[in-house]
Chains A and B, each alone.
Chain A
Amino acid sequence: MPEIVVESHPIDTVFRTDRLPHIFCPGCGIGPATHAYAQAILESGIPKDQHACVSGIGCTARVPGYMDVDSYHTTHGRSIPFALAIALVKPEMEVTVFSGDGDLFGIGGNHFIHAARRNVDINIICINNFNYGMTGGQAGPTLPLGARATTAPYGNTEPPFNLPYLAAATGAVFVARWTALHVRQLKEAMLRAMQKKGFTFIEVLSPCPVGFGSPNDIGDAIEEVWLYRERCVVNHDAYLPDLEIDLRRKDVPFVMGNFLDIEKEPFDPLAMMKNKGE
């Protein structure tokens, strides 16, 4: 019998292994997305000491606490201005905000659009599980129309945000969407985001069998993942206004891809001083 039990995994070096086990539910998509982030850190060529990971509040916001980098678990919705400050004071650092849809686009939406507008040199990784998971499955700004949540027991009546469209419209230089199943594509997108100067955005559609699956008659995590798998279409050139997610219309695919990759000067509050002599 070959030896299959090993003492460590190469990716352990990016994790605080003394913090395990983690808090995530069985079937949660945060795990694979975190793995992709860890792999991207390893492959980025940027020393661990120069990575910072910042989050707000919620399930996903617990991710920085498991990473062996400078990590900041801030207040609900306020991770982006916190990350902005680190990026400005320590421009040599690779600052990533790793947080959830409710945190970044519900309570924190204003900060997102302004950081994108400024083109702050930070990466945003948003786990979108369509609900507030930590508090037990409430409706959020990404909950699809008609979907149920504990605060939308009769089905959601509000249209959700189309996050890639929003990010591109407000100024991001890199915009991607993948699911937690697309671990390789996710890692590549994260690597690209780390290479780029400026505001990057990656949406990760993620199963949440407890908060989202259960009230929406999705039996378990595998069934939710199958739903994504069956309906996913990769189209890097997709027309961004068409990227809305509607669970009720089975003919509408979930479009994945690296939709935007452009160059723009990143935010520098001292830019005008540097250009003075020219």
Chain B
Amino acid sequence: MSAEERVLTGSHFLLGDHACAEGGMAAGCDFFAGYPITPSTETAERLALRMPPVGAIFVQMEDELASMSALVGASLSGARAMSATSGPGFSLMMENIGMAAMMEAPCVIVNIQRGAPSTGLPTLVGQSDMMQAKWGSHGDYEIVAYAPSSPQECFDYVIKAFNTADRWRIPVFVMADELIGHMTERVVIPPADQIPRVERKRPRHKPGDESFLHCLAEDEDLVPPIVHAGEGYRVNFDSLTHDEKGYPATFAEPHDRLVRRLVDKIRLHVDQIIEYEEIFLDDAEIAIIAYGSTARSARRAVNDARKEGIRVGLLRLITVWPFPENKVRELSKQVKAFVVPELNLGQISREVERFTSLPVVGVNHAGGVMMAPDPILDTIKEVVKNA
């Protein structure tokens, strides 16, 4: 393997954390700022090795507050910027994830989740941060969160995360978990010219054009064109509520207008964003909803239950946020109950409950151990018995 190459085309036996790093390399990540934290450190280590030879910038920052601030600065200077972290670091990043949302700075954060709260279980698996990914920073804003179920998906969805971030000008999260991050599997990396790339929308106005309002979304997608540092536009980016010119406007009316747009640019386009995998759902009477490492065990439980003649299917979430609420509503007309296994004490199950009046049965463990197929299978059988 030549370290000089950005895209390691070929078939590899790769650690999930390393696959995240290779996804960043293939996506053209120009700037990484991060802080070592188990179990995501291998992503940073791989990028520390891989980025400098291709002229990309790797900086180990003093903490995750700085890392996230640097990501926004790098992004608004034109770089494709990413970081990798886990729960405690994710908490520290929340402040400037809000800034990324407010300044509409595209960036990618990989979160290899571990057991939580607080320092929790540094080396052991959890899916503890799923609600934090949606609601962690103060205020209303929208992000996109992917939950990869394999090292291959770590690679694929880091690339997609960059494209989604640039398309919608938002922070995008790759919410893996320790099992996926520390799992080694085959990862196929396509040729460089087959790596999908979405470019940022750029201003049609020339620098100096006084009619240009850099925070005005003129298009139907509600995404304004992005201006980078040093291009001569000399505009203001503000973490305060700002008007279309980018100037502070700390009043009710511009505030509602801005926050509504930041939210609507995603909420009105969820059909272009949401991805999931449907397994045996066509005739299912019971639907399992799972994501990340837990979805792998759920798949096994579904196969075992099917052998016993139980009509159960799996909705595997790939985008957890935005949540596929219409799919849950649609399934509600078909199935009798939902089963939601998670390595937390019920986070995404709450989201499922919002969109169905059917029973939603959680299979939960606070983390530290993988979700085995058996408790999921047992729950399926229990639900069948009570249905």
Contacts and interface: CB of A to CB of B under 8 A. Distances in A.
B215 interface: no
Contacts of B207: 49
A22 to B, nearest CB: 11
Interface string B103-138: 000000000000000000000000000000000000
A73 B237 contact: yes
Contacts of A92: 230
B70 A90 contact: no
Contacts of B79: 85, 89
A156 interface: no
B298 to A, nearest CB: 39
B134 to A, nearest CB: 20
A50 B235 CA distance: 12
Interface in A52-86: 52, 54, 57, 62, 64-65, 68-75, 77-86
A90 B230 contact: yes
B123 to A, nearest CB: 26
A184 B79 CA distance: 38
Contact of B63 (A84, A89, A110, A273): A110
Nearest to A120: B59
A57 B53 CA distance: 37
B52 A82 contact: no
A50 B247 CA distance: 20
A78 B105 CA distance: 15
B238 A82 contact: no
Given A71-B237, A90-B230, A82 B69 contact: yes
Contacts, number: 136
B76 interface: yes
Given A70-B230, A110-B63, A75 B239 contact: yes
A4 interface: no
Given A49-B230, A50-B230, A89-B31, A71 B236 contact: yes
A89 B66 contact: no
Interface string B325-340: 0000000000000000
A145 interface: no
Nearest to B81: A85
Given A75-B95, A81-B33, A114 B230 contact: no
B78 interface: yes
Interface string A36-62: 000000000000111010100100001
Contacts of A227: none
B77 interface: yes
Interface residues of B, number: 45
B207 to A, nearest CB: 8
Contacts of A83: 73
A73 B73 contact: no
Contacts of B99: 74-75, 78
A111 B52 contact: no
B71 interface: yes
A73 B248 contact: yes
A89 B55 contact: no
Contacts of A273: 52-53, 55
B72 interface: yes
B58 interface: yes
Interface string A122-160: 000000000000000000000000000000000000000
Nearest to A73: B238
Nearest to B231: A49
Contacts of A73: 236-240, 248
B52 A270 contact: yes
A247 to B, nearest CB: 32
A78 B69 contact: yes
Interface string A256-278: 00000000000001101100000
B268 interface: no
A82 B70 contact: yes
A232 interface: no
A203 to B, nearest CB: 22
B232 A86 contact: no
A200 B72 CA distance: 23
A93 interface: yes
Contacts of A57: 239
Contacts of A85: 31, 33, 69-74, 77, 79, 81
Contact of A78 (B55, B66, B232): B66
A89 B77 contact: yes
B305 interface: no
A90 B237 contact: no
B61 interface: yes
A86 B61 contact: no
Nearest to A62: B248
Interface string B230-253: 111111111110000001100000
A272 B67 CA distance: 22
B57 interface: yes
> Ordered nearest first, which 9 A-B pairs have the shortest CB separation?
A85-B73, A81-B66, A82-B73, A89-B77, A78-B69, A85-B74, A85-B70, A114-B62, A81-B69
Given A62-B248, A114-B62, A269-B59, 12 more contacts: A52-B230, A75-B98, A78-B66, A81-B65, A81-B67, A83-B73, A85-B33, A88-B74, A89-B30, A89-B31, A90-B230, A273-B53
